[in-house]
Structure 1
Amino acid sequence: MNISTVVLAKNSEKTIEKTLKSLVDFDDVIVYDNGSTDETINIAKKFSNVNLIQGEFKGFGWTKNCASSFALNDWVLIIDSDEVVDRELLNELKTKKLDKNIVYRLNFKAFYKDIQVKHCGWNNQKIKRLYNKTITKYNSNDVHEDIITDGLNIEEIKGNVEHYSYHTISEFIIKADRYSTLFATNNTGKKASSPTKAFLNSIYSFFRTYIIKQGFRDGYVGLVIAYSHAVTNFYKYIKLYELNKELKK
C-alpha cells in the first residue's frame, strides 16, 4: 500500500500490540514514542514493518505533524496506540483509489475494556484520519487537533476503527487531568473563564452525555463516561480561570 501509518505512543503496553497486529499489511508504520517507561518500545520493536522514532511531545497537533514527517509515503493514516483497524477498512484501503484533494474520514466504534459503548456520543463517530501530507497537515492545537481541510473535500471510507481507550476507571481520572491541563494551557489569555462557567459547563456536559445522548442506556459504563465528561469540563475551565488570573498578575 502507498499509505504510511503513524501511531503516537506513550506507556501503551496494554493496547499497542493489538494495534500493530492490525497494521501488519502496511509496509511503513511509524511508532512515535514520547517517553514510554513500560514495555511499549520493546513491543514495537517486534514488528518488522515498524519504524520506531523516539521524540518529544508538544501537544497533539504539533506531535502528529512531527511524526508524520517520518512517513515514507505521501498518504498518512493516523491511528492511536489504543485503536484497531478492522478487516473491512483494511481491504478498502488496499483497493481504493485515493484523491489527494480529499481528506478521508473513518468510522469509530468505542469500547470500555471489551464492552462496546453504543451511546454517550461515542459510537460511530466520524473522524478525519487519512490525508496527503503534500497537500495538508494537522493544525497546531494542543488538544482537539484536526486536519486542515480548507479548499479540500471530505469523504468517508467503508470499515471501522475499534477504539479501546479505557481499561480502568483510574484511566478516566488520569486523562481528565491531562486533557484539562492541555486545554487550559493552550487557551490562557485567549479565552475567558470563571468558577461559574466551570460549574455550569460540567453540569451541562453530564446532562448532554447521560440524558440527551442516552448514556444511561450503556448502564454503569454510561454513568462513568458522563461523569468523566463533567469532571473534565469542570477542570478545563477552572484551570483556565486560575491560569488567566496568574497571567494578569
Structure 2
Amino acid sequence: MSPRLSVVMIAKNAADLLPDCLASISWADEIVLLDSGSSDNTVELARSLGVQVHVNRDWQGYGIQRQRAQDYATGDYVLMIDTDERVTPELAQSIRSVLAAPQTGAIYSIARRNYFLGRFMRHSGWYPDRVMRLYERDRYRYNDNLVHESLDARGAPVIELAGDLLHLTCRDFSGFQQKQLAYAAAWAQERHQRGKKTSLAAIFGHTLGAFVKTLLLRGGILDGKQGWLLAVVNAQYTFNKYTELWALSRGYSEKVSL
C-alpha cells in the first residue's frame, strides 16, 4: 500500500483563496488546516469543503504554528502549503510518483513560481525559488523561528521534484506591504532576543545591497516594471528589518515624559 499523504496548511482570513487552493489538492488523502483566528468565514468554508479544521489563536510565530498544524496530521507524508499557493497538475503527478516509490529519509524540493503584481517573476531571485515542502511526517519537524521558518533537516538528502507550486504573493499591494512590515518586525525581534545589533552604516549598506542584488545580480531588470518595483520592495523590507533591530537594541520607543 502506498503511503498516505496529508496536505497541511496554516491560515488566517483566507476565505477568498481557499476554493482554488483546495481544488488543486483535492486528490490528497487528508487536508488539515490550522486557523489562527480568522474574522471571515475561513473556518466555516474549509469545513464545508471537507477539510479537517483546528483553531489556535495563540500565535507564537510561523515555525511553531506550522508544527502545531503538522501534529494534527495522520498521513505518512506531509505536503506543507499555504492558502495562496496552488499545486499544478505536473507537480501533483510528481508527488504521486514519490508516494508510489518513496525513498526513506528524503526531503523533496519544489520549485515555487511566484507572481507579483500580475506577472510571473522569472528572474529577481524568485524562480525557481525552491522550497522543501514534501517529507515524512514522523521524521522532520519545523524550527521555532518567528518568520522564515524551516524544517530541521540537516544532512537529509534533498530530491528536486518536477512541476511548479504557484504562489500568488500579492492579493493587494497594501496587504502585501502590511505582511512585509510584520515580517520585518518579527525578524528584528527574533534577532534582538539573541543579542544581535546593527548600525546606521549597516542599515544603508544592507538596503542598497538588497536593491542591487534583486535588480542586477538576480536579473530583476529582466522582469520589466515589476522587477524594478520588487527591487524597491526588497530594499524597503531590508531597511525596515535593520531599522527595527537598530531601534530595539537602543531601547527606543514612542513613550515620552511630559
TM-score, L = length of structure 1: 0.93
1:213 and 2:218 correspond: yes
Shift of the 167–224 alpha-carbon distance from structure 1 to 2, 3 Å rule, reads farther
Distance 2:193 2:91 in 1: 42
Distance verdict in 2 for CA 1:224–1:197, change over 3 Å: same
The 5-angstrom pairing of residues 1-249 of structure 1 reads 2-48=4-50, 50-56=51-57, 57-96=59-98, 97-190=101-194, 191-246=196-251
Counterpart code for 1:164: L
AA matched with 1:100: T
Shift of 1:45: 2.2
| Change in CA separation of 1:203 and 1:151 when aligned onto 2, cut-off 3 Å | closer
CA separation in 1, counterparts of 2:228 and 2:175?
15
List per-residue Cα deviations over 1:9-58 (Å, max 9, x = no partner).
Answer: 1122332221111011112111111111123223312312x101111321
1:117 offset after TM fit, Å? 1.2
Aligned CA RMSD, in angstroms, stands at 1.6
Q: Distance in 2 between matches of 1:148 and 1:76?
A: 14
TM-score (norm 2): 0.90
Unmatched runs of 5 consecutive residues or more in structure 1: none
1: CA distance between counterparts of 2:82 and 2:181? 19
| Pair 168,224 (structure 1): closer, same or farther in 2 beyond 3 Å | farther
Paired residues, number: 246
Tell me if structure 2 keeps the 8 A contact 1:121–1:209.
yes
Asked if 2 retains the 8 angstrom alpha-carbon contact of 1:106 and 1:158, the reply is yes
Shift, 1:100, TM fit: 3.1
Q: Whole-Å Cα distance in 1 between the matches of residues 92 and 110 of structure 2?
A: 11
Gaps of 5+ in 2: 253-258
Aligned residue for 2:108, secondary structure, equals strand
Whichever of the two has the greater Rg, that structure is: 2
CA contact (8 A) 1:7 1:78 kept: yes
3-state secondary structure, aligned to 1:246 = coil
What amino acid is the match of 2:251? Answer: E
8 Å CA contact 1:202, 1:233 repeated in 2: yes
Contact 1:3–1:26 (8 Å) recurs in 2: yes
